[in-house]
Amino acid sequence: MFKLPDGFTRHVGVLLMMAVLSACGQGGDEKAEAAAVTPPVASPWQSGYEDIGRTAKPAEVAAWDIDVRPDFTGLPAGSGSVEQGEEIWLARCAACHGDFGDSNKFFSPLALGNVTPQDIESGHVAALNDPTRVRTTLMKVATVSTLWDYIDRAMPWNAPKSLSTDDVYSLVAYLLSLDYIVDEDFVLSNENIAEVQARLPNRNGMTQDHGLWKIDGEPDVHNTACMTDCESSVEVASSIPSFARNAHGNLRDQMRSFGPFQGVNTSEEQGEKMMLASEDKAPAAPKAGLAASAPMDLLTSNGCLGCHQVDNKLVGPAFTAVAKKYADREDAVAYLSQKIRQGGSGVWGGATMPPMAQLSEGKADEIASWLAQ
Amino acid sequence: MSGKSDKMGTSEKEFLAQAYTPSPTVPERPGSFGQLRKAPESFLEKSTIEAVSQSGVDENRRRLLRTSFTTALAGMLGAGLSARAAAAEGDPDILTLPPWSKSLGNAVATNPYGQPSKYEANIVRRQSPGLTQTAQASVSFSPLQGMFGMITASGLHFERHHQGWVDVDPRRHRLMINGLVSKPMVFTMDDLMRLPSVSRIHFIECGANTGMEWGNAAVPTVQYTHGMLSCSEFTGVPLSLLLEHAGYDKARGKYVLAEGADGSSMTRTIDIERALDDVIVAYGMNGEMLRPENGYPLRLVVPGVQGVSSVKWLRRLEVGDKPYATKDEAIHYVDLMPDGQSRQYTSIQEAKSVITSPSGGQRLMTKGYYNVTGLAWSGRGTVKRVDVSFDGGRNWYTANLEGAVLPKALTRFNIGWVWDGKPAILQSRVVDSTGYVQPLKRQLKEVRGTRSVYHNNAIQSWRVMESGEVENVQIA
């Protein structure tokens, strides 16, 4: 048996006291607050955890410390041209963002070529506050490091962290050229990126002068807790238009079906048909054919569903259309597996499917066999 | 109470009417299970009511009616004549024993991980159609309209992902601390779970919660207006302990960058004062490990600050002397002001409240008493008081605070109300421990203009119409 260290009983005593105190601390919220932040009671060994965790090795820090700050701390040396950027863009980015970064199929447009020379001159994008204009990434961003850091860590969306340092430089250069921030023959590098920052259209567009950063910051608004006769007139300024009542689906099915506040049936006008359809749900709903056997895990985790749906064309062809096209082809599995891993374009139109090199041959075969079944 | 209720009809039509008239033996109390109440229109499709009154109930329609009435009727129609007789004597759900009273129940561990009742299938997370172009850079909203108390069931915690969610292998997960520290460090989950821990209840609210409502009433229910909000008990290591452990530079360390291990590797800048205060490097959530959608096996919890800072799948913390202007603090989560400048690093979620029952898309069944409840919270401290108005903000009544009142946690409030059947506009307004009073939308707009969408903590209005239907409205 081991000896109880001195002071053990004293600590137990304190613990008990604390328990009693916090049990009494209900009701007044001051007391509850105090109970919630009860200072920890130290055991004799309380700070004996010095040896937990280990020193990170330089190579480990280098592998993960990829952030790039506005002052370019963390930016690796390298370079890339607009021209190279365009090539990589068309192969790996355009399918989602459009050839000129103008698509809103997957995300808001990155660029619309509408930044003005005056914006570049002043460092404020004038159209940001124009409600008729789409706010693009290049209109909003105030720091070029943000684009570099983000593309490097997260794009392409379906295969993040697969670009080389020079790829990232060239893609940032290409993106900036779409809004004429750099010329077509520009080569971006760690040497000249600060000059580009000095041309960024919204570089002066940010403020940190507000009360929402610090916990004791000054609020924007000081309402008063008036209790009686507070408003002289109450006027409803907006409500959900009746045509949009069902836009989020039937609200009846989004509320608990018992209790005092049940859901309003927002698809009333559809009447009996709706009800009968839902009664017959079981046979109507099942996924037929291809969808039923889809390797959903693989398709989801590899980002295929970003560009493909089973039954409908998205960026790429519907998988049902692919299956149909190759139904009679002998080497369909081999062909599709290779195409999935290597990507390509021209079979279904102009759009490019990026290479899915992260997929092992086995996994690609699995998807291909599903399509060729 | 209606005197018609004891009249026995012979046609099916009369039978229906009779079944929905309050029984003289059961006092008419809204919300009571034993109540035999008038069929709310919403239960029956109009065409069915007409068809039934024209031709009575044939076999086909009986089937249909059964499904539309399951909740209100619970088997009466199925039970046929005897139920009809029973209805006169009392509640058939009392007089005719239900199957669960007359059979053997399921075995223990039938569901090794327990599931909600099948009758709760409507209370689930949902996406708002058309809000985002993809389902991986998207949001699912918590069903606040069906929740109780202050804790969000883990399976109902809202989701916001930028590049899909991942299920990280905890044995291969590492946390690195580097930057302005005397010793850059690496921790395994084994290490972290050996360290001293805290358990605290905190809300997480997305900075864009209620953003869709900035311009006008846009979405129908509280799930969509306020559902990027959840509250859990989080267990983990205080960030301050880890920073001390790594020997952070007390003179130069002003910011901490948190980074995720998923594809997006989400990064956010956290003020060192916040970091040293109550931030938790959490692995536990409501008594179990975090759910994958919520950052399994490790996430940051930055209490009181917009959810995006509570980085999920946390892999790295870097101490620095300048903010980082990452994608989600330089392009998004910036608040565009009327002068064209964008506020950067807006973090604190100021005091806010909302009535959850009744709320948009629901219907009050009858006149009479209701327990009106909702949620209040503040990123700057505790909830001091909640007032509720039933007349669009003319007059206010102080509500009860139900259960624990904790800093930077959801606080449940309730207040009794008798609805007189006339139109009403319900609102709630919180006052927090700093004395800050939840603002009106028009007050916020005066400062922030029309283009800002984040940090909308305005008072929410629900209009109760004569039909009992509740809808989302905004007051001028």
Write down the domain spans for chain B.
3-101, 138-343, 352-473
How much is the pLDDT for B82?
Answer: 52
Residues A185 and A75 in one domain: yes
Residues of B in contact with A41 (CB under 8 A): none
The predicted model gives A67-95 an average pLDDT of: 97
**Domain contains A220:** no
Residues within 8 A of B (CB atoms), A 111-140 only = 124-126, 128-129, 131, 135, 137, 140
Share in percent of chain A as helix, strand, coil (round to 5): 40, 5, 55
Instruction: Let me know if residue A181 belongs to a domain.
Output: yes
**Full-model pTM:** 0.78
Hey, which bits of chain A come out as E strands? 54-55, 79-81, 187-189, 206-207, 236-239, 261-263, 344-345, 352-353
What is the domain-level CATH number for residue A97? 1.10.760.10
Chain A residues whose beta carbon lies within 8 Å of the beta carbon of residue B360: 240
Please give the Cα distance from B237 to B265 (Å, whole number). Answer: 21
Residues 210-239 of A with CB under 8 A from B: 210-217, 219-231, 234-239
Question: Are A168 and A288 found together in one domain?
Answer: no
Please report how the helices B76-89 and B12-19 are oriented relative to each other, as an axis angle in degrees rounded to 10.
Answer: 70
DSSP string, B218-241: --SSHHHHH-SEEEEEEEEEEHHH
Q: Do B322 and A71 touch (CB under 8 A)?
A: yes
Whether residue A286 is predicted with pLDDT greater than 60 in this model: the reply is no
Q: Report chain A residues whose CB lies below 8 A from the CB of B163.
A: 154, 157, 160
Identify whether residues A155 and A191 lie together within a single domain.
Answer: yes
Assess A289–B contact: CB distance below 8 Å, yes or no.
Answer: no
In a domain, A161, yes or no: yes
> Which CATH architecture describes the domain B138-343?
Alpha-Beta Complex (3.90)
Task: Encode pLDDT of A297-307 as tens digits.
Answer: 888 878 788 77
- Residue numbers in chain B where pLDDT is lower than 50: 1-81, 83, 86
Which helix or strand (DSSP H or E) is residue B335 part of?
strand B335-336
Nearest to B129 among A154, A247, A278 (CB): A247
Contact list, B326 vs chain A (CB under 8 Å): 67, 146, 149-150
Q: With respect to residue A60, please indicate whether it lies within any of the assigned structural domains.
A: no
A287 has pLDDT over 90: no
Mark yes or no for CB contact B318/A272 under 8 Å: no
3-state secondary structure of A34: helix
Q: Which of A29, A208, A275 sits opposite B405 (nearest CB)?
A: A29
Instruction: Test A221 with B439 for CB contact under 8 angstroms.
Output: yes
Phi, psi of A244 (to 5 degrees): -100, 5
- Partners of B255 in the β-ladder: B271, B320
Q: What is the pLDDT of residue A36?
A: 52
Domain of A133, in residue numbers? 66-197
Residue A167 per-residue DSSP state: H
**pLDDT value at A32 more than 80:** no
Q: CB-CB: which of A53, A65, A274 is closest to B318?
A: A65
Question: Total domain count for chain A?
Answer: 3
Is A202 a member of any domain? no
**Chain-wide mean pLDDT for chain A?**
84
A96 CB neighbours in chain B (<8 A) are none
A36 and A138, same domain (yes or no) = no
What is the full DSSP assignment across B308-326? GGS-SSEEEEEEESS----
- Does A282 share its domain with A328? yes
Q: Are both A93 and A14 inside the same structural domain?
A: no
Q: At which of A179, A197, A215 does a domain end?
A: A197
A76 in Cβ contact with A190 (< 8 Å)? yes
Pairing of strands B174-179, B185-188: antiparallel
ipTM score of complex: 0.82
Q: Do B138-343 and B352-473 have matching folds?
A: no
Position A216 in a domain: no
Instruction: Point out the residue among B194, B385, B446 whose CB comes nearest to the CB of A52.
Output: B194
A219 is a domain residue: no
Query: CB burial class (10 A; 0-12, 13-18, 19+) of residue B204?
Result: buried
Does A25 share its domain with A86?
A: no
Residue A307 carries which DSSP code? T
A165 and A97 within one domain: yes
A213 domain residue, yes or no: no
Scored b (16 or more CB within 10 A) or e, A236-252 reads beebbeeeebbebebbb
Smallest Cβ distance to A129: which of B30, B178, B451?
B451
- Of all residues in chain B, the one with the smallest CA distance to A160 is B263
Quote the pLDDT of residue B312.
98
Per the CB < 8 Å rule, is B395 touching A279?
no
Sign of the alpha-carbon dihedral angle for B184, B188, B194, B199: positive
Pairing of strands B342-343, A206-207: parallel
SS3 label, residue A145? helix
From residue A330, how far is each of A124, A294, A323, B215 by CA, in Å? 60, 21, 13, 58
User: Is A271 an 8 Å CB contact of chain B?
Assistant: yes
pLDDT number for residue A268: 62
* Shortest distance, CA B409 to any CA of chain A (angstroms): 11
Domain B352-473 has CATH 2.60.40.650: yes
Structure-block tokens of residue B251: 């003179």
Nearest neighbour of A260 by CB, restricted to B129, B322, B365: B365
- Find, among A193, A223, A182, the residue nearest to A69 by Cα: A193
Higher pLDDT: B300 or A47? It is B300
Number of helices (H), then strands (E), belonging to chain B: the values are 11, 24
Cα radius of gyration rounded to whole Å, chain A: 30
CB-based contact (8 Å) between A69 and chain B?
A: yes
